[in-house]
Amino acid sequence: MNKRGLGRGLDALLGEASTAGETQTEIPIDQIEPNPRQPRKTFDVVALDELALSIKASGVIQPIVVRRGLAGRWQLIAGERRWRAARQAGLERIPAVVREATDSESLELALVENLLREDLNPMEEAEAYQQILGEFGWTVSIQDDLRANRLTMGHARALLALTSLADQMKLRDDILAQSWSVRATEEGVQKQRASPPPRRSAELSALEESLQRALLTRVRIVGNERRGRIEIVYATTDELNRLAAALGAQS
């Protein structure tokens, strides 16, 4: 996955306070805690000293981004370097944008900020991607789509609103087939959640989901227990070859 695979970019991710109903305020520095999901583990001491001197002279130009933590405290989403430098410069308060964010959104913001500013070393970058791909419930197929830039983080995050693997894979196929934007994906998620599921036996639904888990792609059983067909969906030649091998077909 390259840096463009994260989707919207830093300005869009950090600059939506007015449209999202977020507020900018000043927060006591000692009430802020680092983001435990921060991809960057090391901070350049010289660069931090230089930033602290700049903050002493001009203040904090760009606010940090935080979300509410426990016991009245705040947790950093983006801007740990500014927060550290401000604390080093002796500031008691720091300008901050307060944002409602899930764990996955918080990690994505931190990763985007560091990647676009080229602040991560290769190991930190790899570990951050692995954390995003493995921690938030995406199927192997969706993880592969993210790595190959067929889906962005915005697409994948929208799909998490669907709890059913079958629903996720159905919408994923629509995204790839119709080149949906993230907004179109979110609208598709809303429509799918509003649509009542068709009546079918629990056994047939369980079998369909078992086939999807086994083949790591969308499988649809059309019909009933006595008669029907099985549809297996693929989106790329590589995926077709993988399915053929899994089914024991000769190439």
The residues annotated with a catalytic role in the active site are 80
Query: For the CA atoms of the chain, what is the radius of gyration?
Result: 22
Reported as half-sphere exposure (CB side, CA atoms, 13 A), residue 115 has a value of: 26
With CA atoms as reference, report the closest residue to 246 among 135, 140, 167.
140
Strands 64-68 and 32-33: unpaired
- For 10, other C-beta atoms within 10 Å of its C-beta total 16
180-209: buried (b, 16+ CB within 10 Å) or exposed (e) per residue? bebeebbebbeebeeeeeeeeeeeeeeebe
Strand order in the sheet with 93-98: 23-28, 93-98, 64-68, 74-78, 32-33
Q: How many residues does the chain have?
A: 251
